[in-house]
Structure 1
Amino acid sequence: MNFRQRAFGLVQALAVVLSLAVPLVVAASSADARIGRGVSSGSRGSRTYSAPPSTSTAPSAAQPFNRTSTNPGSSGFGRPGGGFFNRPGSGLFRGLAAGFLGAGLLGMLFGGGLFGGIGGFSSIIGLLLQIAVIVFLVRLAMSWWQRRHEMGTAYAGGPSPLGAQASSRSATGFGLGSGSAPLQILPADYEAFERLLGDTQAAWSNEDVGRLRTLATPEMVSYFSRDLDENRSRNVVNKVSGTRLLQGDLAEAWREGGADYASVAMRYSLIDTTLDRNSGRMVEGSEQPEEVTEVWTFLRPRGGNWILSAIQQTS
């Protein structure tokens, strides 16, 4: 076997590794252990594609949803499930992944791809050019998505005044919220939000899907169930303890159809560990408390109780 053949074989092996590893890297990079996996999931009704206003607790913009069942312009009560490829522009991302990873990288195994008629070192150059094209188009698509998201945020309006939140705090650790909110949020509501923060984390740790169904929307429960199934497939269990609210304030509250919504920024501490299901040995996480800042959106059907509708990460 001459040097050219060995080099081409190396490139083929690299193509296989890349085609198998890329999806895993994408999946693992956005994953976390605690409830919600550290990604933005759920729905905020008709405001799903508008970022909630920043607050003193979460001055950075909340991230767009990675997992949502709400289509642009819908009321937020779509089918459960969703995911990254259900967001606007998903067809472009799906086309890039399938077209270039499939036809480009895997095509190298058969001497195909964009440069199928050229052999030896030219194939190496062809592979590099294909990777460059992928990077360019992905960046172009991400830039397009960011511009679209910023336009939606601009039309959603600016942040509401937070003076009342900064000057007066309830016993729960939440600010009392803005007096200009279309929907009035009372101290009892903030107490309910804090209880939901702890109760959902506890139900998640106990893998109690039945309890989660009483605390969150069917959409959120579908994501939690999927994440718990993934933990079982890995033979691990995630345990969250010591959840404590450190600071929280209201981003916005509104009434939509037959339901009330409230998006609340929360900074809280917790101990997040992942244990081997059989031995109980810690395989991920730490016994030391860590701090997390997220924006949680709660939904209350008219005459009902508040339940969790969305969790968004902050930049």
Structure 2
Amino acid sequence: MQRTGGLVKAMAVIISLALPTVLAVSAADARVGGGLSSGSRGSRTFSAPPSTSTAPGTASPFNRTYTQPGYNGGYSAPARGGFFNGRGGLLGGLAAGFLGAGLLGMLFGGGLFSGIGGFSSILGLLLQIVLIVFLVRMAMAWWQRRNMPAYAGTVPPSDQQNFRSNMGFGGFGGTSTTPLQILPADYEAFERLLGDIQAAWSNEDVGRIRLLATPEMVSYFERDLEQNRARGVINKVTGTKLLQGDLAEAWREGDTDFATVAMRFSLVDATFDRASGRLVEGSEQPQQVTEVWTFLRERGGNWQLSAIQQTN
């Protein structure tokens, strides 16, 4: 029992030291999307977009998506998930476990925590659950990667589409691997959406965001803004400037067009206390970010943001 108690205490110390680091990493990426991979890419949601010169690595799998594996078109129902997001997820399961244990203890004549043998047992149970969830998530991620179809490939140089921004910096260039043709006006729309979405996020203008992004992405942004308000902070993203962009792939599914582009851009990402205006996270100095954004449009409609993926 003494050895077990010592082990539990040691693991508790490790968790208490690691958790602030995890939270700090998440808080550092407070910009649109929160540094997560969120959204859907139609039937290619679970396939990695081809790498480009702007993002030569791989795009991270989605942390948040409504799409279910095996999906072939359209949007599915919202999926609860994420480590700290929504009513479900890991913390929701742990809370339910603690509540059930406490209720059992009370029903059998003990205190709130007597059902599982006191605080040490609670902590031990917590560590076991965290370990199980971690192993299950790793196994699921491995299985998805194992069964993930590849959509890489290039086309002859004669079929390549190149576009330079008229604003004098960077721009888009790349190849389309499908019959869908991406025109200069489309690239201009992608660049404009990059800045407009960041501005709407900074102003917490959800009405504006609804015009620029899909309902799925709007739901994530609303949730993130609510979390900021609950913490008493506001995230301001300013000075967004596209430096370089490449088309990874473009395709059509029914009446919906999709285009996935890698973008490297600079911005100032700073989070302030709502009451005092004091800088609490981020920096007021510009930083460079590389992300993979997917846009969609219904036939004859405007482009909207459908997904944001981080790069490895």
CA RMSD of aligned residues (A): 4.2
Could you list the per-position Cα deviations for residues 16-37 of structure 1 after superposition, in whole angstroms to 9, with x for gaps in the alignment?
996x999988776545210101
Corresponding position of 2:277: 280
Q: Which residues of structure 2 form unaligned runs of 5+?
A: 106-112
Residue type of the alignment partner of 2:151: G
Match of 2:154 in 1: 160
Cα shift readout 1:221-241 (whole Å, capped 9, x = no counterpart): 111111111111111111110
Residues matched between the structures, number: 292
Q: For the residues of structure 1 that align with 2:6 and 2:115, how far apart are their CA atoms? A: 11
Which residue of structure 2 lines up, in the alignment, with residue 119 of structure 1?
Answer: none
Are the equivalent residues in 2 in contact too, given 1:58–1:314 (CA < 8 A)? Answer: yes
The alignment partner of 2:164 has SS state of coil
Distance 1:166 1:56, change over 3 A: farther
Matched, 1:271 2:302: no
1:141 Cα shift? Answer: 2.7
Contact 1:215/1:308, CA 8 A, preserved across alignment: yes
Aligned to 2:309: 312
Of residues 93, 111, 114 in structure 2, which corresponds to 1:110? 114
Instruction: Give yes or no for contact 1:268–1:292 (8 Å, CA) kept in 2.
Output: yes
> 2:43 maps to which residue?
46
CA shift digits 1:124-156 (9 cap, x unpaired) = 9x9779947954x45643442233232343x23
How much does 1:258 deviate? 1.2
Alignment-derived partner of residue 234 in structure 1 = 231
Code of the residue aligned with 2:207 in structure 1: it is G
**Distance in 1, Cα, partners of 2:197 & 2:130:** 40
Q: Is the 8 A contact 1:54 1:159 kept in 2?
A: no
CA displacement at 1:297 relative to structure 2? 0.4
What's the CA shift string for 1:187-228, capped at 9, x where partnerless? 110100000000000000000000000000011111111111
Matched, 1:69 2:66: yes
Distance 1:28 1:220, change over 3 A: farther
Where in structure 1 are there 5+ consecutive unaligned residues?
Answer: 86-90, 117-122
Residue type matched to 1:73 in 2? G
Deviation at 1:163, TM superposition (A): 5.6
Deviations 1:92-131 (A, max 9, x none): x86996499759x999x53847xx9xxxxxx89x977994
Residue 120 (structure 1) aligns with: none
Equivalent positions of 1:237-248 (< 5 A) are 237-248=234-245
TM-score by length of 2: 0.77
Q: Label 1:46 to 1:192 Cα distance change in 2 as closer, same or farther (>3 A).
A: same
Q: Percent identity?
A: 58
Is residue 2:151 matched to residue 1:147?
no
State whether residues 172 and 246 of structure 2, in contact with CA within 8 Å, keep that contact through their aligned partners in structure 1: yes
